[in-house]
Amino acid sequence: MAKLQWTARYNDGTSLNQIDSDGTTHAYLDIDRTKLETFILHEGEGTIIKNAVIFDGDGEKLVWTRRTRMTLGEEPQVFHIVGKKDEFILAISEDYGTTVARHNFVDDGLFYEVVQ
Asked if residue 82 belongs to a domain, the reply is: yes
Mean pLDDT of 4-21: 93
Asked whether residue 52 is assigned to any structural domain, the reply reads yes
Residue 114 is assigned to a structural domain of this protein? no
In degrees to the nearest 10, what's the CA dihedral of 79, 34, 86, 54?
Answer: -60
Q: Sheet containing 62-69: give its strands across.
A: 62-69, 77-84, 88-93, 99-103
Q: Is residue 112 part of a domain?
A: no
Give the pLDDT mean for 15-41: 93
The reply to whether 83 falls in a domain is yes
For 21, the domain range is 4-103
Instruction: Output the pTM of the full model.
Output: 0.77
Which of 35, 3, 38 lies closest to 19, judged by CA? 3
Averaged pLDDT of the chain: 79
CA–CA separation, 104 and 12 (whole Å): 29
pLDDT tens for each residue of 36-76: 999 998 887 656 777 888 888 888 889 888 888 777 787 77
